[in-house]
A and B are shown apart, each in its own frame.
Chain A
Amino acid sequence: MSDAGRLPRSFLILSTVILALGFFSLAAWAITGNFNHVGSYFTYPAALFLIICSITEASFAAFAYRQFEPSEPLHGAWFLLLSGAICRVLGTAFVQWFASDAALNLFRRGPLWESVPPDQLRQIGFVLHGPLALVLVGSGLGIVLRTYSCLGWLEKYQRVDLAWIGAGILYCLHHFHQVYLNTRSSGWKLEVTHALNWLTDPLLVLLLAEVLLLRRSAMAMGGGWVSACWSAYAAGIFFTCLGNLGIWLVNWEYLRWPYTSVTWFLWLPAWAAFALAPLYQWSAITETRAACWAILNQGNASKAPL
């Protein structure tokens, strides 16, 4: 593997180790019957991993954004992807750090923490890394799709893709029906953060439709870092959809506490995939630069005495 591939590979290894640690905690719970093993895992290593993932995503998206000039099509795309990544950093920090009662949260006994209920902080975090980040990422990926179309590399949906989208639409209709029934029974009292979070599901279906097409087009390139970058975004959205499905299963009591914690694991690969995407973009740029340097050096060498 080239030097450019080392960073994504290292990050993949780290993600695998963290996930494996999670499965060990699940096994420990199953054997001992003590749920604290899983609880501690999500309070410390998993929370820290999610924060590291979002910071990695934002840092490398910022690097990618700086590589494009305003006149280039992907300048706008990376600006939106970077904005989405920043929302994810803030949202993750609110949910996993500021709203946490764990020792990781250094502000937990401060005046601000006591004045704002943790649940409210968590809701703000959900809006930030939920609908807000998704709108930004979706718009950025829309520009990428348009670029593929301009290059003539846009592929078509296949039947399995249409089946996924159809299932998503059915789920959305069901979701809105439930929202309607719930708000009617509560006398149409709405909380802004809750109402914003309702948008997550239809947004995810739109994003799913977008990334399925993007993944098909990226795969048709025959591998490469560029294709890996967009495929990683597609994987991130796909795992987010699965995570949301997990929430639905919990809300409808198909899964009961403490088994609901199994669905929490879905957010780890989702965040890891979002972080991997700009890492792959970094690899593509590093690879191109390395090739340029190699050929320039060779060129200079060939100019030496003949």
Chain B
Amino acid sequence: MLGLPVRHLSDGDLLDLQQGAGGPLRRWWLQRHLRRCDFCVEKESQMRNLCDQVDAALLKPDMRAVDRLDTRNQLLRVMRSWRWEGGFEESTWHALAESMLRCLGSKAVDSSCRLGPQVWRRVSSPLAVFVGRRNANSISMAISKDSRPPSRRNEDQSADV
């Protein structure tokens, strides 16, 4: 209304909202924004759908295998689903999944993957504990950063209420 540019909710904001993370004031602000912004409502619903799909896939008995390949595929699937819109090449995701397996071990990653929507936080948290938050956070940021095409990102940033 005032013609000010609006900052839409980021993937991190939406995750916090879904998981009930953050302080009450922050949650109130996020919910307030959601009530007013159709773009973010749509984004939130898409993310919720993705989470449900991942949860459903991970809860299937055949997805609980703890062998290395299955775990890597699960991890890949989960990581990809948490991204808002793709962007990285398949080989990069493979490299990241392999690295996490090499660091933490297949069973540790597998058990973290089975936890559902909080998967990335659960997977990155033990990694941060054992290799240092400073080292693991950079991975976490690389994963969660917005990689939408620049044209789309610019559009969002200049949207007015």
- Taking Cβ atoms with an 8 Å cutoff, the residues of A that contact B are 2, 4, 67-69, 72-74, 147, 151, 153, 220-227, 281, 284-285, 287-292, 294-296, 298-299, 302-303, 306
Contacts and interface: CB of A to CB of B under 8 A. Distances in A.
B126 A151 contact: yes
Given A67-B134, A69-B134, A73-B129, A226 B103 contact: yes
Nearest to A223: B105
B110 interface: yes
Interface string B139-157: 1001101010111000000
B138 interface: yes
Given A72-B129, A295-B88, A306-B150, A225 B102 contact: yes
A299 B146 CA distance: 10
Give the bracket for the number of chain B residues in contact with chain A.
Answer: 35 or more
Interface string B91-128: 01001100111111111111000000000000000110
Given A224-B101, A285-B135, A151 B129 contact: yes
B131 interface: yes
A189 B17 CA distance: 70
A74 B151 CA distance: 43
B87 interface: yes
Contact of B151 (A147, A288, A294, A306): A306
A291 B88 contact: no
B89 interface: yes
B155 to A, nearest CB: 13
B5 interface: no
A42 B100 CA distance: 41
Contacts of B96: 291, 294-295
A294 B133 CA distance: 18
B92 A298 contact: yes
Given A287-B99, A306-B149, A306-B151, A226 B104 contact: yes
Given A223-B106, A290-B99, A291-B96, A147 B129 contact: yes
12 contacts: A4-B102, A67-B131, A67-B135, A74-B130, A220-B108, A221-B108, A224-B105, A226-B130, A285-B135, A295-B143, A296-B138, A302-B89
A296 B147 CA distance: 11
B88 A299 contact: yes
B87 A299 contact: yes
A257 B138 CA distance: 57
A124 to B, nearest CB: 35
Given A284-B131, A287-B103, A224 B88 contact: no
Contacts of A74: 129-130, 132
A185 to B, nearest CB: 51
